[in-house]
Structure formats: structure tokens, C-alpha cells
Amino acid sequence: MIVLGVVTAVLALLSLADVGRVVSDGLIALMGVLFIISPWVMSFTVGAGYAAFAWTAWIVGIVALVAGAWDVQVARAQHQTGHMVTGH
């Protein structure tokens, strides 16, 4: 879980450093999927007595998946229109 967290944080920092980079945004969404499936792959599901670990992985995974997918859509819209979309 620590490795997944570190890799996700590095990808997020890369995404912040290079706004037009759709690849790193897609990788953040992929990391979200990996977080979501990790309790079953690493055998720490709720039934095994590791409920807090499993819920943390699922919540972080959902947040990363939604943020990564949303960022991909924003980057695609910017690329198609040819200008930046600002949030103010």
C-alpha cells in the first residue's frame, strides 16, 4: 500500500508540473483501480480482520479514480478546443 501511495503521489506531482500531460492523468485513474482491487489481491479484505486497511484502500482508490478520470476529461477538452479552461 505504501508503494501504491508513493507512486500515486509522484504521478500527481508530475501531473501538476505538466498541465497538458494526459498520460499521467490516466495513470492516476489506473492507480485508483489498483487501490480498489488491492484488498483482494493482497488478501486484506474486511472479513480477514483488516477492515480499516480495506476501507482506506477503497476510499483512496475511488478518489484517485474519479480525480484521474475527471482530469483526463478536462485535458481532452483543453486539447480539442486549443485553450486552457480556468476555474475562476
* pTM score, whole prediction: 0.75
- Cα dihedral 69→25→2→54 (10° resolution): 10
| Residue 86 lies inside a defined structural domain of this protein | no
Could you report the per-residue pLDDT of 15-62, keeping only the tens digit for each? 777 655 656 668 888 999 999 999 888 888 767 677 888 899 999 999
Q: How many domains does the chain have?
A: 1
| Residue 87 lies inside a defined structural domain of this protein | no
Q: Give residue 82's pLDDT band: very low, low, confident or very high (50, 70, 90).
A: low
CA distances from 39 to 24, 47, 69 (A): 24, 10, 22
Segments forming the whole domain that contains residue 20: 2-81
Q: Give residue 88's pLDDT band: very low, low, confident or very high (50, 70, 90).
A: very low
Q: Give residue 87's pLDDT band: very low, low, confident or very high (50, 70, 90).
A: low
| Residue 88 lies inside a defined structural domain of this protein | no
